[in-house]
Each structure stands twice: as structure tokens, then as C-alpha cells.
Amino acid sequence: MSMVEKDMLTEEQEQTLRLKIEEKVLRYFQNKEIAKERREENNLIFEELEELFQGSNEEEVIISLPNGENAILAPQFREKEVLDKDLLAEELQVAKDELKTPFDFCMFTAQGKLTPAMITKHTTVEREVKLKISKRKRTSKRRKAKVEPELPQATE
């Protein structure tokens, strides 16, 4: 083989490699687009599920899936404490921007302007109920037998 043939073979290999890279990049972005569409579709389905679940009077819905697992829809309760910085700043007679960091709160507390009672006064508890959907493996008969204790037999 001459030097020219080796260079041409290398060029062919480079072109082949380049085509493979382009093909994989195109496939990668196609898959990302499909995943994005599926995610959007699932969000819409989930919103519909929330509306339907609110309409039902059930606390929990269990649905058998074709693969043998169970889908479980149940409400999830979340509570969080929220500090109303607007009202707190108003009571302290400072700009809301001065109550951003924990250091700011420490500074006002050290100066005696801010008290725990003031923080408690302006803290509210927000309760939120969201639908939770999860998948669980079906419990086998053997496992159910272990979980359910046997009733003691009456002896005479």
C-alpha cells in the first residue's frame, strides 16, 4: 500500500466516524424531545387525576397494573411554617429588604428590636394537600401470611 492509499483509508474512517457521531447526536436530541413531550403529557394526566381524585370520596385508590404491581393514589398532607416578612418589617418599622438573611434577624434580635414573640406572631402554618401517586410491588400470599398473625385457637 502506498502512502496515498493509507491517507484515503484514514479519511474514509474519519468520515464514517463523523457520520456515526452525527447519527448519535441526532438520536440523543430526538430522545430528549420525546422525554420532554412525555413529561408534559404526564403532567396533564396528573392534573386530571388530581381533579378526579378530589371528586371521589375515597381516601386511597389502589389499582392493579399489568406488570403485577399496584398503583396507589393517596393524599399527602404537608404543613410548613411561613414567616410573613412584610408584616414583621412593618412592625419593626424597617424596609422588607433588611430582613433577608439569618444575619439580619440576629442583628435585630441583638439590638432588642426583634423578639421571639414577634416571630411567633407573624408565623402562620400553611397546610397543603397534594395527590401522591406511587407504585408498590404486590405482596405475595406467603408474605401476607407472615404479616397477618394467626388467631389463637380456643382450647377446651
Structural domains of the chain, count: 1
Average pLDDT over residues 76-100: 89
Answer whether residue 104 shows pLDDT above 70.
Answer: yes
Q: 45 lies in which domain range? A: 1-57
18 inside domain: yes
Give a yes or no: residue 148 inside a domain: no
What is the CB neighbour count within 10 angstroms for residue 83? 14
Residue 137 lies in a domain: no
User: pLDDT category, 156, cuts 50, 70, 90?
Assistant: very low
Q: Is residue 24 domain-resident?
A: yes
**Beta carbons within 10 angstroms of residue 121's beta carbon:** 13
Residue 93 within a domain: no
